[in-house]
């Protein structure tokens, strides 16, 4: 075979100096990085699936236990106006605090029931609150639940306001003042004034237009007294930071 340069070749030239079959260092590193990334993604998917499954299992178990405790609460609740022992009140109150769900109408009825029992035996409750921290916590939780329920609906029975008047508004001996300060501090950290303002705004439209019909017993004025209680108790507060929870201090 001839070319234009006059050279003769029996066959076409072959180049045997191609790339080596051995992979270079960069491709090995890149491949290892991709494999590591895939393993990490698989691990995260497995971990996420485990967390989601655990969450749903715990939610289901929690709701199951709450349903059981609701049944226990209903079974041990006394009849209307029946007296309850301290042990029975303790049993009912701690279960109510555990299972209460503000979105459930039936829990709203149970709230009215437990408030009725607490008011009925208010003296014993005060005695236990002064002696046991767990009773103070339960009363704090109950008052917060009652306030949220009042904020959600203004057409509730007055018993939810009465429980505030008995334990917070009414004058009481000096040792109870500090308990009220601690309870109000708990409530102030949980939008106490925000709820009360909305409640008073809703009640203000119910004030009679005739001055002769205006009475301190109107709900809006009773809520106003509750609003002023933290200001009155500043002088009894041993905690110097109490005043800083007040929005207008």
Domain boundaries, the chain: 119-203+215-245
The pLDDT value given to residue 242: 62
The answer, yes or no, to whether residue 1 has pLDDT greater than 90, is no
Most confident region among 2-16, 119-133, 143-157, 163-177 by mean pLDDT = 119-133
Report the mean per-residue pLDDT for the chain.
84
Interatomic CA distance for residues 110 and 122, integer angstroms:
18
Interatomic CA distance for residues 183 and 245, integer angstroms:
12
Instruction: Using the structure block, give the residue that is written with the tokens 């930071």.
Output: 241
The pLDDT value given to residue 248: 53
Structure tokens of 15?
């180049």
This prediction's pTM: 0.76
Phi-psi region of 193 (alpha: psi -120 to 50; beta: other; left: phi over 0): alpha
Most confident region among 48-52, 207-211, 233-237 by mean pLDDT = 48-52
Q: What percentage of residues in the chain have a pLDDT greater than 90?
A: 45
Q: What percentage of residues in the chain have a pLDDT greater than 70?
A: 82
Are 166 and 117 contacting, i.e. CB atoms less than 8 angstroms apart? no
Q: Could you report the per-residue pLDDT of 185-197, keeping only the tens digit for each? A: 899 889 988 898 8
For 139-147, what is the mean pLDDT? 96
């Amino acid at each position: 075979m001839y070319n234009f340069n006059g050279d003769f070749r029996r066959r076409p030239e072959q180049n045997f100096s191609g790339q080596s079959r051995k992979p270079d260092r960069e491709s090995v590193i890149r491949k290892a990085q991709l494999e590591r990334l895939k393993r990490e993604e698989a691990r995260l998917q497995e971990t996420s699936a485990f967390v989601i499954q655990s969450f749903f299992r715990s939610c289901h178990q929690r709701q199951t236990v709450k349903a059981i405790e609701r049944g226990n609460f209903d079974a041990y609740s006394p009849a209307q106006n029946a007296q309850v022992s301290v042990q029975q009140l303790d049993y009912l109150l701690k279960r109510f605090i555990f299972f209460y769900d503000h979105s459930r109408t039936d829990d709203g009825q149970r709230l009215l029931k437990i408030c009725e029992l607490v008011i009925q035996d208010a003296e014993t409750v005060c005695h236990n609150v002064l002696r046991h921290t767990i009773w103070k916590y339960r009363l704090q939780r109950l008052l917060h639940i009652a306030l949220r329920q009042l904020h959600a609906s203004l057409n509730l029975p007055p018993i939810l306001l009465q429980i505030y008047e008995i334990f917070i508004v009414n004058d009481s001996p000096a040792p109870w003042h500090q308990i009220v300060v601690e309870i109000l501090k708990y409530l102030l950290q949980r939008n106490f004034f925000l709820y009360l303002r909305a409640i008073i705004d809703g009640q203000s439209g119910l004030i009679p237009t005739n001055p002769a019909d205006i009475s301190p017993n109107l709900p809006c004025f009773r809520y106003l007294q509750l609003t002023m209680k933290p200001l009155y108790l500043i002088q009894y507060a041993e905690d110097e930071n109490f005043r800083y929870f007040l929005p207008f201090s």
